[in-house]
Structure 1
């Protein structure tokens, strides 16, 4: 459609009732660079539905144009596979806009040591989104493969994009950050359905609800126009109603004889890992942790954040003695700390692990949890890449030869005076269904992290929101200690009991909420998602009429 024809379509109508159909026509008939630009813009708008903004209508403003653009790909080109290629390109451009707008804050990490890493900033800010965009590219192509000319194309879209999101969360170690289900997963009432279907179930629902209004302007009859949006509205009301019913009015009961003190030191990243600051850092930690608590009651458990020290705590008797002197009789310290195994014969150094260590009032390390799910390019590099960048005088982010080693499997952490603990370090908390280890169910999630890399950007807010959703999925309270924030206690319903905001120094003195019974998701989360997708697929492939769009 020419620009003149588009102008005529707009001038022949008046008011909102005329402009909206013209916008739908603009999406379905756009070609060339205008099509790709519209896809990028639509994806970027969708990032406003993510934390910390939480603007739910942005989901509609992002997904509705995506439906119209895919409508326009129905009869593209002369080849029977051309529409799929166009759909994949649309998905890539949409995903690129979404991930750049939602993950731009990753660039802050490259400026912490700008002399070493500023050159790589474009690769993080643009390169990672360019790679991640291949997942929605696949999702758009899969949706196009199942496309129908009626309202069922909303289901095709939700099916294709949910499969793509599941793959993004699992392939190549996985990266489910800002999955669109978080649009529903940050509101207290709406997030409760995660106890039934988890993050990926919320993602499917988000796609259905956000895309449904597209048929208001493309349906041929009143029924065709209003059925899907009405069902989406009813679904949203139903989710809120379930959440209102599930969240109790009264506060959660607390575990007796447990008094937690979470220490948030708010250290800048460039100071935190400088060995020259080791003594000053230790004094800062000890001073904050020794402040009097409410009613003069001493804490039973003090919690420090991830990688708290620019040295190996377990090989520093003086620091362990200082910790022992800090603690009251019978109390313990739980802290993030790097640790190193003894080197094997023929090795110069042992293997390093990102760990949580438990120290008693005698300065003895009682137990340790080693991180399983490491951050690619942040905590480790494939050995070939590590050797290559060192050969040209560069290094990876972590100041450790060869980076960290992953633990072989997730382990429940035993801590005196606490029920069994599901320990997570940093971004391990963003992976739904991977919080618990095999064996008896724990009674709380412990997350220690250091988000100082990302300053006062949306990153720390997004990280906390995802950790909070794990509490709802599993029916477990969350205890979170973050270097610069957000540190918090969250009950099993996702309610924030206590919180220290971002970039604030201080301590939280609080109790531990009791665990809730295992949720439906905790028992059968993966099964429920599979059933949902199978039913959706059956609705799409059964009774396909003459307008079936299989290539």
Structure 2
């Protein structure tokens, strides 16, 4: 004989209209506490369990197609709440130049989550089409959310920020599974594990009531045990390499202007030349953050000569910098957000141009560009016409004397799974030995944003089996080994430098590095198959 659901669960399932959507928004917002820097995994369990009960009501006594719209609205409200609570810090960027951008703050803080919530609406809608009684509805939700999280990371330039798999991927032991199944595989597991407690209040007999939660606990413990074994002893280091990461803590305001170029360059050089600790080796490679200069250093021979003079013999500098490319006849001057390699001779020996630009931050999307500029609007970064994207054909691994091949990323390029290594990596005689990520999080102040950025970049190291060297203007700068251990890091909003050895890459790479999202596709298919099988049962 079935056990009736508790009264509060039945009350949740019976909600309709704005009450259903309001509760969905609230529990979606609660789920954001599972993201960095908070990492409260039970918050996502409560959030998804309530979402299951709300879905029970939205899908009850309806044909599959009649479920689609109420489930879509429910998912949109849940995603709207989740992203509003997780991305509110984006509003900080609109306050940096408030006289110009304050009017657009609601578009970033509310408009972006409102729009991105449509992805979750599609995911819940797909789950509604597959909905059935019993534990299989958890697989249906995992399929729907897993599929749309992948789409959110790829469509319309992609924005995989705070993908649900990050609920697991910020724990050192649990993140080790990223080396096999990546962020999106972890997303499937996060939904299956965190939605499982819903059956504790709705199971019709002990097996369906307690089985999913017991299975989720076993999987979570198994993941942790495997991760602890995989982490093992500290990784070895690359001999003959000593890194210095310079964090100048330059504000994103009027002080960062071309007229202050001399002071800014002097600040970088002074931090780069600070003495090492007693007995520590001298740095062989120095890293400066994204957009280190408010001018084009390639066109300023005096500044370039000063930078070169600040390097000791044999030292190499890897720095973020804007660069310009001479136009063809009839074209405008093109600007690129770049990483440059500079030696003590003052020669820029190699360059990487950022491929994945930030819409509205570094450029205005083509369909809106002319109209917005007619209204006097521009992107956040004050470059005439915005940055141009490097082409995929030109995306390449940096050659830096004294280092293994360097996979360069700039700013939020590091949040995209399986996009770290360029398409031309296979043509390099030696495999990449590290990921370099230069960034400038000064736009977002002391908010969760910089911490979320670090956590997502950290997972790329585990996925690819490569150490990560991350240098940020205002922090958080860090050296991370290929197992995701933070070897050394700085504090946010601090002028400082960081010396560290370079951890060695994992020999042979990782399954995820070789096969990408293949495991995720299999997991997605398994969830779909489980949900369909349950629907066919009488």
Q: TM-score range by the shorter chain?
A: over 0.9
In 1, Cα distance between equivalents of 2:515 and 2:366: 38
- 1:257 aligns to what SS in structure 2? strand
Equivalenced residues, count: 527
Aligned to 1:371: 354
Between 132-141 and 28-37, report the one with greater CA deviation: 28-37
Aligned equivalents of 1:28, 1:43: Cα separation in 2 = 16
What corresponds to 1:465 in structure 2?
455
Q: 1:519 aligns with which of 510, 525, 538?
A: 510
Gaps of 5+ in 1: 1-16
Using the TM superposition, name which of 481-490 and 408-417 deviates more: 408-417
TM-score by length of structure 2 reads 0.95
- Given candidates 479, 495, 502, the residue that maps to 1:505 is 495
**Corresponding residue for residue 120 of structure 1:** 104
Q: Residues 335 and 357 of structure 1 are in contact (CA less than 8 Å); yes or no, is this contact kept in structure 2? A: yes
Task: State the partner residue of 1:82.
Answer: 66
Q: Which moved more, 1:401-410 or 1:224-233?
A: 401-410
> Hey, what's the Cα distance between the residues in 1 that align with 2:367 and 2:210?
56
Q: Does 1:528 align with 2:519?
A: yes
- Aligned residue for 2:365? 382
Match among 225, 235, 258 for residue 252 of structure 1: 235
**CA gap 1:157/1:384 in 2 versus in 1, 3 angstroms:** closer
Aligned ranges for residues 186-335 of structure 1 at < 5 Å?
A: 186-248=170-232, 250-271=233-254, 273-294=256-277, 295=279, 297-335=281-319
Alignment partners' CA distance in 2, 1:449 and 1:272: 18
Decide whether aligned partners of structure 1 residues 149 and 510 sit closer, same or farther in structure 2, where only a CA change above 3 A counts: same
SS at match of 2:237: coil
Q: For 1:483-498, what aligned pairs fall within 5 Å after superposition?
A: 483-498=473-488
CA distance in 1 between partners of 2:537 and 2:183 (Å):
36
- Which residue of the partner structure matches residue 9 of structure 1? none
Contact 2:265 2:307 in 1 (8 A): no
For residue 412 of structure 2, the aligned residue among 417, 427, 431 is 427
After superposition, what is the alpha-carbon deviation per residue over 1:34-82, rounded to whole angstroms, capped at 9, x for unaligned? 11111000100010000000111111111000000000012367x7633
What's the CA shift for 1:544? 3.5
Q: RMSD across aligned C-alpha pairs, in angstroms?
A: 1.6
Gaps (5+ residues) in structure 2? none
Cα displacement (A) at 1:296: 6.1
* Separation in structure 1 between the aligned mates of residue 527 and residue 28 of structure 2, nearest angstrom: 24
- CA separation in 2, counterparts of 1:28 and 1:405? 50
- Secondary structure class of the residue paired with 2:238: coil
* Residues 365-421 of structure 1 deviation map (CA, whole Å, 9 limit, x = unaligned): 111000010111111112452322332233221111111111111311111100001
Farther off after superposition, 375-384 or 31-40: 375-384
Q: Describe the SS at the equivalent of 1:352.
A: strand
For the Cα contact (< 8 Å) 1:272–1:309, is it kept in 2? no
Structure 1 residues 178-189: aligned runs within 5 Å: 178-189=162-173
TM-score by length of 1: 0.93
Q: Distance in 2 between matches of 1:417 and 1:271?
A: 37
Structure 2: distance between partners of 1:272 and 1:365? 26
Following superposition, the deviation at residue 276 of structure 1 comes to 2.4
Deviations 1:461-499 (A, max 9, x none): 000000000000111000000000010000000000010
Residue in 2 that maps onto 1:537: 528
